[in-house]
Structure 1
Amino acid sequence: MKTIRTQLMLGLLVGALICTLVAGFAIYHQADHESNEQSDRQLKQIAAALPLQFVANQLLPATEDLDDKIAVQVWEKDGWQVYFSQSDMHLPPQKTMGHQSVFFAGETFRVYTETKGGRLLQISQPLSVRHKFAVNMALRMLSPLLLLLLALATLIYLVVGKALAPLDKVAGAVAIRSPQALQAIDQTGLPEDLLPIVVALNRLLARIQTTLSAQRIFVADAAHELRSPLTALKLQLQLAERSSTDELRAIAFLKLHDRLDRSSHLVHQLLTLARHEPDDVMHTPVICDLHLLTQQAVMDHSAYADSKSIDLGVASESMPVKISGNIDALGIMLSNLVDNALRYTQQGGKVDVFSGIDGGRPVLRVCDNGPGIPLAERERVFDRFYRPDGNTTWGCGLGMSIVKSIADLHAAEVHLDSNPAGSGLIVTVRLMSEALYFSGPDDDAEQGRIV
């Protein structure tokens, strides 16, 4: 692909050349027109200068330029030709007086005819002589234009180079940077046409720096959080190896399985969080039925709920509501909310999942009757790896962070409220997009259709 410099140079030079050629063509036509008018006047002047009577060996007026090829012919009334000046230009006498163009012997002539002293005077000249004169005049006038074109080409080269110098400067400033140098590019002295590009580039560098910083923090936090379970796994394995009886060995392996489950859960949560950062670009939105998502979340966690004798189900007042969003991300968000509710709710508790409209906005809500979260700590539960003090249930502190990340991806709000029925917590995700429409039981086939 041609560079901007090459395109500008070629475009301007070709344009200047075309303009020069058009100017030369116009000059030729103007010169040809002027030459015809001047030559016609010359033919008439020669006719006016001819004597009324002719005597032997009389010399007639002649032009100074032998290249004009002007022929003078004189006839008597009876048609007898008494004089001709050019032996090779014997045009027949014309009946029409004045100027006219005559085609004779394969060539076009310009002829002036009049009667004078009882004789017919005819002055003629080939048009090729006039065209040659016009071409010579145009070439003489075109020479300065060609010199001007050369000067213009030099000026174009200098101006284009100077105009693109700031672009080369910006390109050079970016090219010499290391991957870690993400500071903003200096905008001082940049032309207004280039400024929007540099501003957009600086914004991109700022976003990259923010993303890299978040990744570094995430990696550091993940490494810190993985160190403890891995160390515990190694210690538990050593205890299992040193067990002296089958009973002690079985207990050690049971604890080892528990440690592995916690580690697997932590790794799964870390990967989920990494895939759904708030700065990630939303995938192609699809029509998502929130009611189907709640039913799927209940089905996925029913075995775990049964193991703790927890009454898990979809709230009776739930209704099918369809929105445009990332169906996979919304499913993960709701799964984390249900998992957290089940994990922290006591044996024999109750967890309800709701989908519907609240305040004109589509909402997802998970309600439990567990211990809840103190009001002072509700904002901090969205921080990565944060767990309230005194919490005996094992976890990694990433569930609510994942919920917040996916909510931000959908421009949604997450609210934590106390259960008005007593102890427990209500987590409400209020989606900012308008509900597409309410659906009935027959519309379930629409789930996952691309908008």
Structure 2
Amino acid sequence: MKTMRGQLLLGLLCATLLCVLAAGASLYRSLLEETNELADLQLRQLAAALPNEFAPDTGMALAQDPEEMFVLQAWDDAGHQQVISPDKPQLPRYAVSGFAEVTVFKQRWRLYGETRRGRYVQVAQPLEVRDGLAAAMALRAGAPLLLFALILALLIVVVVARVLAPMERLAQAVAGRSADALAPLPVQDMPPELRPVVASLNGLMHKFDQALQAQRSFVADAAHELRSPLTALKLQLQLVERAETEAARSEALRKLHERLDRATHLVRQMLSLARHEVALTEGQLTTVDLGQMLEAAVADHSALADSRAIDLGVVAPAKVNIAADPDALQVLLNNLIDNALRYTQQGGTVDLQAGVEAGRPLLRVSDNGPGVPLQYRARLFDRFYRPDGNDAWGCGLGLSIVRNIADQHQAQIVLDAADQGSGRGLMVTVLFPVPAAAPETATASVPG
């Protein structure tokens, strides 16, 4: 691919060359017209002179310059030719009155003829003489133009290099930075045309900085959170090794498996969180039926719900279509249902809803568990945060994953108590943006 400098220089130099050639061609045509007019005037003046004045014995010399070569001929009334220029080629008599162009001896001539004082006078000149004269004049007149064109080309090269110098400085400033040097580039020293580019680069580096900080924070939190379960696994393994009875060894192994499950769940959640921090692309969005997704989720979690005697079902089934990433939305729903089943007591209820509220599609998961006090709800989305007093094991990443996926879909999460009177239970509502076009099928609305 050609560089911008090369394209700019090539375009300007080619434009300059075309202008010079066009100016030279125009100058040549103009000079040729002037030369023809002057030469025609000379032909008429020569014809106007008496033929006897150009006789060899008159002492009047004929033109000897090849650029002014004329053939002067005359015929008397009897048709006898009077030799006036014996050293010039003799042309046939054309008996014209005025100007004409003829071809004689494979050479084009411009001639003028008229009858004067009883004689027919014919004056001719080769057209190549006129062309050569015009070309010589154009060359003499165009030589300064070519010189100025060369000077202009040099000036173009200098000006282009000077104008593109800020781009070179910007490229060097960006190339000379390390991966951790994400300070904003100076905008004031840049020309107005480059300031939007620099501003965009600064915005991009700011996003990179935020991503790096989030990554460092994530790695630090992950290292801190993984240290405790790994230490617990090590201690539990030592208890297995020191068990003296089969019953003690079995109990220790059971707890070891439980801690391994928790560690596996933690790693799985961390990987899911890292995967869903990446922004979605247009190609990942497809039409998703929230009602159908809820029914499939009930079937997937029915075994866990039955094991805890929890009533899991869909309230007021509705067909609600949204544009979303189905895989990411499935992860969001699984985390909400998993949290609801995990923190709901034995014999509790978990309800799933899909509908439209104020024109916005929604997804809602509510339970009748102990709920979350109002002062703790804002921190539920923080990584590895778990409110005090929870007996159910977990890693505190479920709602962080839910928030990331909701942000990817420009959705809003609302936390509220499922039972407003007692304050028990937790109701998580995910409100999606208003669709650009209304869906073809009617959707059911649910109360807020």
Q: Normalization by structure 1: what TM-score?
A: 0.93
3-state SS of paired residue (2:8) = helix
1:325-376 CA-partner distances (Å, limit 9, x unpaired): 1111111111111111110000111111111122222111111111001011
Partner of 1:126: 126
CA distance in structure 2 between the partners assigned to 1:12 and 1:56 by the alignment: 60
How far has the Cα of 1:19 moved from its partner? 1.4
Trace 1:22-421 onto structure 2 (pairs within 5 A). Answer: 22-50=22-50, 57-60=57-60, 62-63=62-63, 65-277=65-277, 279=279, 281=281, 284-315=284-315, 317-420=316-419
How far has the Cα of 1:239 moved from its partner? 0.3
Q: Is the 8 A contact 2:56 2:84 kept in 1?
A: no
Partner of 1:444: none
CA spacing shift, 1:438–1:62, aligned 2, 3 Å: closer
Q: Is the 8 A contact 1:46 1:61 kept in 2?
A: no
3-state SS of paired residue (2:89) = coil
Q: Is the 8 A contact 1:370 1:424 kept in 2?
A: yes
Mean Cα displacement is larger for which, 214-223 or 137-146? 137-146
Mean Cα displacement is larger for which, 78-87 or 380-389? 78-87
Mean Cα displacement is larger for which, 320-329 or 89-98? 89-98
CA spacing shift, 1:54–1:320, aligned 2, 3 Å: closer
Q: Is the 8 A contact 2:73 2:121 kept in 1?
A: yes
1:258-313 CA-partner distances (Å, limit 9, x unpaired): 10111111111111111112755565210101012111221121111111111111
CA distance in structure 2 between the partners assigned to 1:13 and 1:53 by the alignment: 57
Q: Is the 8 A contact 2:292 2:319 kept in 1?
A: yes
The 4+ residue runs of structure 1 with deviation greater than 3 A are 51-56, 278-283, 438-441
CA spacing shift, 1:241–1:189, aligned 2, 3 Å: same
3-state SS of paired residue (2:180) = coil
How far has the Cα of 1:66 moved from its partner? 4.4
Q: Given residue 413 of structure 1, which amino acid in structure 2 is its aligned partner?
A: Q
CA distance in structure 2 between the partners assigned to 1:235 and 1:148 by the alignment: 89
3-state SS of paired residue (1:380) = coil
Mean Cα displacement is larger for which, 143-152 or 238-247? 143-152
Partner of 1:437: 439
Q: Is the 8 A contact 1:414 1:429 kept in 2?
A: yes
- Alpha-carbon RMSD across the aligned residues, in angstroms, is 1.9
How far has the Cα of 1:320 moved from its partner? 1.4
Q: Given residue 437 of structure 1, which amino acid in structure 2 is its aligned partner?
A: P
1:63-95 CA-partner distances (Å, limit 9, x unpaired): 363442111111110101123314442112222
1:147-206 CA-partner distances (Å, limit 9, x unpaired): 111101110110000000000000010111111101111112312222221111111111
How far has the Cα of 1:127 moved from its partner? 0.9
Partner of 1:445: none
3-state SS of paired residue (1:84) = coil
Q: Given residue 104 of structure 2, which amino acid in structure 1 is its aligned partner?
A: F
CA spacing shift, 1:386–1:53, aligned 2, 3 Å: closer
CA spacing shift, 1:427–1:436, aligned 2, 3 Å: same
Q: Is the 8 A contact 1:182 1:205 kept in 2?
A: yes
Q: Is the 8 A contact 2:75 2:120 kept in 1?
A: yes
Q: Is the 8 A contact 1:411 1:431 kept in 2?
A: yes
Q: Is the 8 A contact 2:66 2:129 kept in 1?
A: no
How far has the Cα of 1:57 moved from its partner? 2.2
Question: Could you say which structure has the greater relative contact order, defined with CA pairs below 8 angstroms and 6 or more residues apart?
Answer: 1
CA spacing shift, 1:439–1:53, aligned 2, 3 Å: closer
Mean Cα displacement is larger for which, 32-41 or 117-126? 117-126
3-state SS of paired residue (1:301) = helix
3-state SS of paired residue (1:381) = coil
Trace 1:10-29 onto structure 2 (pairs within 5 A). Answer: 10-29=10-29
Q: Is the 8 A contact 2:379 2:385 kept in 1?
A: yes
Q: Given residue 431 of structure 1, which amino acid in structure 2 is its aligned partner?
A: F
CA distance in structure 1 between the partners assigned to 2:410 and 2:107 by the alignment: 87
Q: Is the 8 A contact 2:67 2:133 kept in 1?
A: no
CA spacing shift, 1:240–1:373, aligned 2, 3 Å: same
1:31-69 CA-partner distances (Å, limit 9, x unpaired): 111111001101111222336688782344523634421
Mean Cα displacement is larger for which, 378-387 or 271-280? 271-280
CA distance in structure 1 between the partners assigned to 2:122 and 2:204 by the alignment: 86
How far has the Cα of 1:394 moved from its partner? 1.1
1:211-247 CA-partner distances (Å, limit 9, x unpaired): 1110110110111111100100110000011000100
Q: Is the 8 A contact 1:288 1:324 kept in 2?
A: yes
CA distance in structure 2 between the partners assigned to 1:185 and 1:53 by the alignment: 89
3-state SS of paired residue (2:196) = helix
CA distance in structure 2 between the partners assigned to 1:279 and 1:214 by the alignment: 14
Q: Given residue 325 of structure 2, which amino acid in structure 1 is its aligned partner?
A: N
CA distance in structure 2 between the partners assigned to 1:216 and 1:95 by the alignment: 104
CA distance in structure 1 between the partners assigned to 2:440 and 2:426 by the alignment: 27
Q: Is the 8 A contact 2:366 2:427 kept in 1?
A: yes
Q: Given residue 112 of structure 1, which amino acid in structure 2 is its aligned partner?
A: Y
CA distance in structure 1 between the partners assigned to 2:235 and 2:89 by the alignment: 125
Q: Normalization by structure 2: what TM-score?
A: 0.94
